[in-house]
Amino acid sequence: MLPEDIADRILDFDPADESSVWADTAGTVPAEVGDGVAAMDCLVSGMRITQATAGNRFALEAEGSYRRLGQPDATTRFLTATSLPAALVAKLKAPTTISWWVRPDAEPVAGNPNYQWEFYNTAEAGIHMNFQYQDPNDASGHKRFAYSRRRADTTGISSMFERVDDAIYPTADVGAWVMITIVNEGDPIDLRVRGYVNGVQYDILTGIAAFYAGLTTNAAFWLGCRNVTGNFANARFRRFTIWERSLSANEIYSMFRTTRDEWELS
């Protein structure tokens, strides 16, 4: 099944949808391949994420008959919404599933996230819910996908998918598409998180406080790279989707297989 075949989507951004990608922030000029992406509309809610600065826009690229977002030159490129609708914030506090297709085109460098999605509460600085592809900058030197939930006044950083040994290294080869899926379930006091790469479960965390419960309508959303220190890997991106429930392992694997076949990925 494709993402649109799975009930209860609350956010869905897809650069392949020509009616939702714009070359201007007002959403009046459809983006063509080769344009910088100034705005993208959510396929289920109409919420718009934008980038007013031309130099910080994703490049809209073609891959076969589909389109993707490109971050080809290791610079700051992102789309953002600075004040989320109250109804959406309320749903983010409940069980959710988050899925993103990414293609690393270079290894990450030390010290900073190379690309990410993030919900960040600007009213209560330090409440995060994000995913990163990064070099952890530790003694192991291993690259990793990491999912973090933290609040500035509370110890609550939870990194997933860290390399354990060579047999289970849940990161994509450079140039290979990968579907990352994060499942949040349970109650706000004792959260359970499952992490999947290409439909296969790699990690599970339990007993995590749901720090994003502090999100308000002042919360912002970023998709891409907004860090300004310059340590970014080249990458490409496709569909980003959130559901307001915990998807099952069968749903996640079916979505991976069907989407991979639809896009004719190896």
d(CA 196, CA 220): 25
pLDDT at 127 > cutoff 80: no
pLDDT for the residue 159:
47
Highest mean pLDDT of the ranges 60-74, 162-176, 235-249: 235-249
Pick the CATH number of 3-13+78-262 from 2.60.120.200, 3.40.50.1360, 3.40.50.920, 2.30.40.10: 2.60.120.200
What's the sign of the alpha-carbon dihedral 143, 148, 152, 156?
negative
Q: What is the mean pLDDT of residues 58-85?
A: 85
d(CA 89, CA 91): 5
pLDDT at 243 > cutoff 50: yes
pLDDT for the residue 200:
86
What's the sign of the alpha-carbon dihedral 193, 2, 20, 70?
positive
CA atoms within 13 A on the CB side of 234: 9
Name the pairing type of β-strands 200-208 and 128-134.
unpaired
Q: Which DSSP symbol is given to 173? A: P
pLDDT for the residue 197:
83
- pLDDT, tens digit, 9 for 90 and up, residues 141-187: 555 566 655 544 444 444 444 433 333 334 557 788 888 888 877 66
pLDDT for the residue 128:
47
Poorest-pLDDT segment among 11-20, 127-136, 242-251: 127-136
pLDDT for the residue 203:
65
Q: Which residue has the higher pLDDT, 155 or 227?
A: 227
Q: What is the mean pLDDT of residues 71-88?
A: 79
Q: Which residue has the higher pLDDT, 26 or 212?
A: 26
- Residue of 108, 84, 77, 107 whose CA lies nearest to 224: 77
Highest mean pLDDT of the ranges 86-95, 119-128, 195-204: 195-204
- What separation in angstroms does the CA of 96 have from each of 45, 82, 88, 181? 16, 21, 11, 11
Distance of CA 235 to the CA centre of its chain: 13
d(CA 31, CA 67): 11
Highest mean pLDDT of the ranges 18-32, 132-146, 189-203, 227-241: 18-32
Tokens describing residue 66: 């589909």
Confidence band for 195, pLDDT divided at 50, 70 and 90: confident
pLDDT for the residue 96:
84
pLDDT for the residue 193:
76
- Residue of 138, 145, 141, 126 whose CA lies nearest to 212: 126
d(CA 144, CA 58): 23
pLDDT at 62 > cutoff 90: yes
- What separation in angstroms does the CA of 39 have from each of 2, 35, 80, 135, 252? 24, 11, 9, 29, 28
Domain locations in the chain as residue ranges: 3-13+78-262
> 158 near 144, Cβ under 8 Å?
no
Q: What is the mean pLDDT of residues 53-65?
A: 92
End-to-end CA distance of the chain: 18
Q: Average per-residue pLDDT in the chain?
A: 75
> 36 near 45, Cβ under 8 Å?
no
- The rounded percent of the chain whose pLDDT value lies above 90 is 32
pLDDT at 223 > cutoff 50: yes
Confidence band for 83, pLDDT divided at 50, 70 and 90: confident
pLDDT for the residue 121:
58
